[in-house]
Structure 1
């Protein structure tokens, strides 16, 4: 039976509300996060809303049965710590069991001489994985509202917004036709190996030879492609023909043998389903490699695949010198004058200008906006007309040549001042990337979106916590000055 949070008053147990937050300026990112989390926990206005959102997602329909598991507060704390520190689950497991500050904030730390409570590695993965992108988005709305109260934003005060996009990379290698073909082939072989270990399949005695021979031919093609000099085209064609021939032979053997594979047990059935998926990918990349190298065709972009594992991955070219290509998904963020991220979106094969209409609807429904700045990539005549209806001062530089009226607008003192301030969002993006949002290590698109959402919420909490620590530090500083003066 899972609980929201009930800290038992047991002998030696340290209370969450008594957690001492470090206030030194060089304490790092974690104290800021802890200060914000502690404030949420001790304030009924915020913890009620947070627990309600978490409970709606995590509590099962019949919550009165089963083992207790981690409570909602522990799940929330650990999910934020991971993305604040940009750490793996191994490091998170270590922190959950040996960092006294985090353990006291989770409500599991005991004093000296009392029995310790420890959390297993798999328990952390299973419980943090219960959160979804939608749940964290709801939590982030509460966090932003909490942040505005901490930064003492007046109710009628309008926001000064800045919007920009960047690429969060997937955990994939650089794609080429021949290495994607190798990925497909080796995964087919892996599935057959699993079936062979479970059922002792006939006809696959040389399965290791299949793997090594395909890999050697893939490397030979790579060397021929990278080589220079006389006869390169002939070497490339010969290597490609040998590689394709071996891959086609493997595919034909798999199609012939697959009907005889055992599927009586559930695990065998799942392995065969995975095998069928990788066989389809193998067939696809045999065709693509043959069309590109042997037939000399140019493959349309919509037919290309950039990873057989993270198939949501996009090839993003933003016109920059470095990096000139990024593999992942574009994410658009909108920050306010307090450097809090009030809105974010994982973009689905969309350009910057295509998201503005929906973004404006979401923002205008929640906030009053005094100014809003974009870069040229978001410009569109319809976008400008829509935004001007709800924004007092709009900074949306025109893409292309400006007429006389547009030049006067873009060179006005207010426009230039806000355009110069727009660079603040770049520093917010840089901070997000340093905290883990440069490359997502989690597998699967739903985990990718959750990773982005958790990064945003952890960033906002840390910003809020830094403000709380600054307020805590002010009385200490004034007291020390009085002592020196005395």
Structure 2
């Protein structure tokens, strides 16, 4: 049963002195912002269930997640810190004689509510700030960055070894659930480990022959992975044949997980065979068995030529409030994203910006024409490639150069979001998980920004 607020008063509200219950100016402003009823609407529209046990109050959940991303706590540390602080309990609307929600409860609630609700909350906060004139929206700047997945550096050999281990464990777990009526899978851990160690020793030679040897060893790992997949299919078929329609939900869930692992491993096997045959450019390359949506992304950085994760698009106004964000799988061109970004900004703020500033990655005649049609007066996007004399004169204008100087400040916002609010690396997996993680980071940043402005 969905519970929005904790409205029960306790004796502590009247006994404790006001100095103990008084919140800091920032928390007081954030508390006032989150008290708006519009932040309850996404939860009511998606999860308005009137049966079952009462959930953690939505107002408590939102405030706990704000503290988590504000201070970079883990879930267990968050629960411990809030339990020990009277003021944080007061802010989160947790009674002094009540338990703070358990860390696993918060994890499950984040997965349950999903990325759509978090995106809705960010939109409503931006709309509220615009309607109440807390922020200006005359200028817009947008840029993209990479939110990395929490995975080790991917190589085909290590991915195959991970696949063999994970499928074996999941298949044996399935055998345990059916009380040993199906024989367990053969353990290939030791042989895969030997192949990985062989690769490490071979690569020390740094010769062309060593590269060919590594490919031969990788072929052996491919064979091990194919054998493991075959054994897993045999076990699943045997379980379904034995249990038929009497398969329990828990057993069905294990089979679905195993089937998903096999499907991802098939992709890894196919891309490894392509690489060994000489084809190194694979558009939808899988880089993790546990995060199959993540992709290798090259942004032209000297320090990190290739990053592994998701492309994150961030749009902000002149008050450095993030008015829109989007998580993309792979590396779509910036040029194809601009128009959708500006339209979402207009929808969220309710106002057409006077000026738009981006880097040259967004440059195209089609984009500039479309922005002009939307009613934008100043468009500061440097043109790619060779420029005509007319274009050079246009880009030397004072307003164009001032907008470009202002646009460079967006790199600072991205740096803060990555360093302080968790956008550098997501600890949740999959496109949905990364969207939840980034959404909460941006919501926390926006709340603190509005609190500082007011």
Fold in common (TM above 0.5): yes
- What is the aligned partner in structure 2 of residue 120 from structure 1? 102
Matching of residue 106 in structure 1 with residue 106 in structure 2? no
Conserved? CA contact 2:293–2:329, under 8 Å: no
- CA 164–90 in structure 1, closer or farther in 2 if over 3 Å, else same: same
Q: Which runs of 5+ in 1 are unaligned?
A: 24-31, 469-486
Q: How does 1:55-204 map to 2 (within 5 A)?
A: 55-60=44-49, 63=50, 65-110=51-96, 115-148=97-130, 152-153=134-135, 159-198=138-177, 199-200=179-180, 203-204=183-184
- CA 222–255 in structure 1, closer or farther in 2 if over 3 Å, else same: farther
- Post-superposition shift, 1:336? 0.8
Q: Which has the higher contact order (CA 8 A, sep 6+)?
A: 1
- What is the aligned partner in structure 2 of residue 28 from structure 1? none
Conserved? CA contact 1:177–1:289, under 8 Å: yes
Q: How does 1:204-215 map to 2 (within 5 A)?
A: 204=184, 207-208=186-187, 210-215=188-193
Cα separation, 2, equivalents of 1:117 and 1:179: 43
- What is the aligned partner in structure 2 of residue 288 from structure 1? 271
Conserved? CA contact 1:369–1:391, under 8 Å: yes
Deviations 1:136-184 (A, max 9, x none): 222222322443467645xxx6511111111111122222111111121
Deviations 1:23-67 (A, max 9, x none): 5xxxxxxxx3x233222256xxxx12122333223321xx1x332
Cα separation, 2, equivalents of 1:241 and 1:329: 29
Conserved? CA contact 1:58–1:130, under 8 Å: no
- CA 120–128 in structure 1, closer or farther in 2 if over 3 Å, else same: same
Cα separation, 2, equivalents of 1:303 and 1:117: 46
Cα separation, 2, equivalents of 1:186 and 1:78: 37
* 410, 435, 450: which one aligns with 1:425: 410
- Post-superposition shift, 1:461? 0.2
Matching of residue 49 in structure 1 with residue 38 in structure 2? yes
Q: How does 1:223-238 map to 2 (within 5 A)?
A: 223-229=201-207, 231-233=209-211, 235-238=213-216
Conserved? CA contact 2:417–2:445, under 8 Å: yes
Structure-1-length-normalised TM-score: 0.82
- Post-superposition shift, 1:203? 4.7
- CA 96–375 in structure 1, closer or farther in 2 if over 3 Å, else same: same
User: Greater shift after overlay, 429-438 or 446-455?
Assistant: 446-455
- What is the aligned partner in structure 2 of residue 239 from structure 1? 217
- Post-superposition shift, 1:231? 4.8
Structure-2-length-normalised TM-score: 0.88
Give the length in aligned residue pairs.
440
Cα separation, 2, equivalents of 1:203 and 1:149: 65
Conserved? CA contact 2:294–2:329, under 8 Å: no
- Post-superposition shift, 1:337? 1.3
- What is the aligned partner in structure 2 of residue 382 from structure 1? 366
User: Greater shift after overlay, 72-81 or 371-380?
Assistant: 72-81
Conserved? CA contact 1:96–1:119, under 8 Å: no
Matching of residue 411 in structure 1 with residue 413 in structure 2? no
- What is the aligned partner in structure 2 of residue 3 from structure 1? 3
- What is the aligned partner in structure 2 of residue 478 from structure 1? none
Q: Which runs of 5+ in 2 are unaligned?
A: none
- What is the aligned partner in structure 2 of residue 35 from structure 1? 28
* 322, 327, 344: which one aligns with 1:362: 344
- Post-superposition shift, 1:6? 4.1
- CA 216–150 in structure 1, closer or farther in 2 if over 3 Å, else same: farther
Cα separation, 2, equivalents of 1:48 and 1:304: 44
- CA 80–118 in structure 1, closer or farther in 2 if over 3 Å, else same: closer
- What is the aligned partner in structure 1 of residue 310 from structure 2? 329
Cα separation, 1, equivalents of 2:169 and 2:355: 56
Cα separation, 1, equivalents of 2:30 and 2:316: 21
Conserved? CA contact 2:426–2:434, under 8 Å: yes
Conserved? CA contact 2:295–2:329, under 8 Å: no
- CA 450–412 in structure 1, closer or farther in 2 if over 3 Å, else same: same
- Post-superposition shift, 1:436? 0.5
Cα separation, 1, equivalents of 2:8 and 2:284: 58
Report SS of the residue matched to 2:189: helix
Cα separation, 1, equivalents of 2:63 and 2:159: 39
- CA 149–98 in structure 1, closer or farther in 2 if over 3 Å, else same: farther
Cα separation, 2, equivalents of 1:105 and 1:166: 33
